[in-house]
Amino acid sequence: MKLVVLGLSLSSSWGNGHATTYRSLLKAFAARGHDILFLERDVPWYRAHRDLARPDFCSLAFYRTPEELARWSDEIASADAVMVGSYVPDGVEVGRFVQRTARGVTAFYDIDTPVTLAKLERDDHEYLAPDLIPGFDLYLSFTGGPTLKRIERDYGSPAARALYCCVDPAAYPPLQVPKKWDLSYLGTYSDDRQPTLERLLIEPARRLPHLRFAVAGPQYPEGIDWPANVERIDHVAPADHAAFYAASRFTLNVTRADMIAAGWSPSVRLFEAAACAVPVISDRWDGLDSLLLPDREILLADTTEDVTARLARTPDGEAGSIGRAARARILASHTSAHRARSLETLIDEAGVARASDDKTIINRTPEREPIMKNDRSRTILVTGGAGFIGSHICDALIAEGATVVCLDNFMTGRRENIAHLEREERFELFECDVIDRLPYRLENGRARFDQIYHLACAASPPHYQADPEHTMLTNVLGTRNMLQLAERTGARLLLTSTSEVYGDPEVHPQPETYRGWVSCTGPRACYDEGKRAAETLAFDYLRSGRGDVRVARIFNTYGPRMRPDDGRVVSNVICQALAGDDITVYGDGTQTRSFCFVSDMVDGLMRLMVSDRAVGVPVNLGNPNELTVIDLVRRVLALTGSDSRIVHRPLPEDDPRRRQPDIARAARLLGWRPRVSLQEGLGVTTAWFAKEEALRLGRHQPEDRSEGGRAPLVEAAE
């Protein structure tokens, strides 16, 4: 895509954190194949201190007045996205020009969100005015958490999303250099940071005269009483940041007052120091523990005594372990590559939202813009790709231009599901089992993958109970094999787990934080416990920095390509009704389920795969509209006109009584919510089963041409 950025500064890192932020983010964004134009106001201070006048990852141009921006009107109008940053001089005028001119997605990138909101409350419109906010398709914020809802609720933003600062790990490696200081701090002077700096560095220096300290950064006033053992450094160029951090036993993170009040506001210096594996001592604020774990990946301090104790009593071995753990977390979640992927996804989602506001999902899906616009250069592996959901994933990826490698052992997958794809140049099929040795081309490292959708495993009770040992090995050994393949190839892996990890739940509906009520010895344990173990493996790989993983917990899904013999309630009821057979209901039919149509599930999985907001947490995907099994049966009987009788059978062992997903996390992190109604979905699914049965018996079945009568993904496939 073509991106135009109007930011405070790219050319000079003196006296601002914006330049290093833009450099790392845009360099990674360009590496994904995008073209970038950065427009910077030509001001004397930055002109006199430029340390990157000719970036090799984007075009950089300077303008002297807002009126001069008209020279770039064509570039702004034709761009896929235009982003205006905080603290841009005359930012309100610049923002209005962009909103008038741009035809693509527009975004406000707020590197100073709490400061911005405090200014707006004071009617200080230095670079942003309240009436501009609804006009930006995206409000990208350095601050996450509750602030995002506030921006949407109070200021009318269509979509406020966190885009935290990040670090280029190549520019911030661990270095083995002599230690010059016991505690250092790198940051520009700020009135609201200075009291914390006094408390957490200057006063500890007075109390510990035998230790050495350093404060680096410009604009500190002359009147500060620096102790003799504090070295002052006016500027450290970005190229020297890693060496500065590495020369310290510990480094200090100090957060501005507005950002402490808002929470969820990490500074770029925090991520930079952690990437260098230097143990960080930080002030305390809400949300910090969601980024780095206290006492394992970061040390927290509230008082001077806290700091002096840390410096005096933390052994070098423990400090080194904390630094290494912090670096592992940064590499797993907070690099510039992570943020570039997130920015790409957010822009694409905003583009889809602009184009789709007045359409229903059932009609929109075939025309949906790709979640990843550059998928034509991507190679994606789908295990279980001939299965029910897997084959729909393959269809969607091929439709978006990706090259797809499908892996399936055909124990439950069917060749008919992917027969139409075998004619595609960008589709390749390997018949093998994920628990066995992979085909030579995949095993020896010659194949490179950008993403791995790991769906391989029988998912219905009759199938996974038929060979419980194989089911367990598929979940554990097969998942390990795929994680190792992802590690070798640098691919992001999405593990499809299941709502079965909640067992027969005592909490309703089931949030991801619920740990479940699972029988570890019952007939369903091979699947339930196998998926729990697979999640453990996936998150262990993520925590250790060995893999970039996402985990979906899938609830009941239905739609075309379900097997008639898979034993799931939707396929059972539809097939029995169409055949005029007795409809089997286990128990009294009051047990509940929540049914998600397959196109909605595929959309959720693809959003999760590209999301950088859903790191380190499982995400429920399912339809929260709960209904009883007996109600489902009545709907199918009405839909088919069948006169089948309902026959009750004993409830299977460990069969859950209630099942309903809490999808608040998916809505918040992915912007996802099911759109296809049960009536629409059942109509499409019933028509598909009727057609399949007619083909099996050699009868002609007229095509259903009613609006919304066919599944979007099935239509694309056929």
DSSP state letter for 439? P
Q: Does 704 have pLDDT greater than 70?
A: no
Break the chain into its structural domains and give their ranges. Answer: 2-162, 181-334, 372-717
Q: What are the b/e assignments for 265-274, b being 16+ CB within 10 Å?
A: bbbbbbbbbb
Cα–Cα dist 548/57, whole Å: 25
Query: Over the stretch 465-492, which tens digit does the pLDDT of each residue have?
Result: 788 898 999 999 999 999 999 999 989 9
Set 22, 464, 502, 527: catalytic member: 527
pLDDT for res 698: 61
The answer to whether residues 205 and 305 touch, using CB atoms and an 8 Å cutoff, is no
Cα(611)–Cα(552) distance, integer angstroms: 12
Q: How many other CB atoms are there within 10 angstroms of residue 184's CB atom?
A: 26
CA Rg value for the chain: 28
Instruction: Say which residues have a Cβ less than 8 Å from residue 624's Cβ, sequence separation at least 6.
Output: 509, 594, 660, 661, 662, 663, 674
Assigned token pair, 580: 């005029």
Measured CA distances, 173 to 242, 243, 622 (Å): 7, 9, 41
Pick 2-162's CATH classification: 3.30.1330.10, 3.10.100.10, 3.40.50.2000, 3.40.47.10. Answer: 3.40.50.2000
pLDDT at 509: 86
CATH topology agreement for domains 2-162 and 372-717: yes
- Residues 6+ away with beta carbon under 8 Å from 455: 382, 383, 384, 385, 387, 389, 390, 393, 496
- Residue 604's pLDDT band, with cuts at 50, 70 and 90, is very high
Class of the CATH domain delimited by 181-334: alpha beta
β-sheet bridge partners, residue 429 = 406
* pLDDT, mean over the chain: 88
- 79-83, 385-389, 652-656, 663-667: range with lowest mean pLDDT: 652-656
User: What is the CATH topology of the domain spanning 372-717?
Assistant: Rossmann fold (3.40.50)
Is a pLDDT exceeding 70 seen at residue 593?
Answer: yes
Which of 72, 73, 78 shows the shortest CA–CA distance to 59?
A: 72
Q: How far is CA 689 from the centre of its chain?
A: 35
| One-letter amino acid for residue 431 of the chain | E
Tell me if the pTM is above 0.85.
no
State how beta strands 248-253 and 592-594 pair: unpaired
Length of the chain: 718
Question: Model confidence over 313-336: pLDDT tens digits?
Answer: 999 899 999 999 999 999 988 999
How much is the pLDDT for 358?
Answer: 32
Pair 389, 456: CB distance under 8 Å: no
Taking the C-alpha atoms of residue 565 and residue 582, their distance in angstroms, rounded to an integer, is 15
Told to judge if 127 belongs to the known catalytic residues of this protein, a careful annotator would answer no
| For the chain, counts of helices (H) and of strands (E) | 27, 26
| Residue 17 pLDDT exceeds 90 | no
**String of b and e for 705-716 (b: at least 16 CB within 10 Å)?**
eeebebbbbbeb
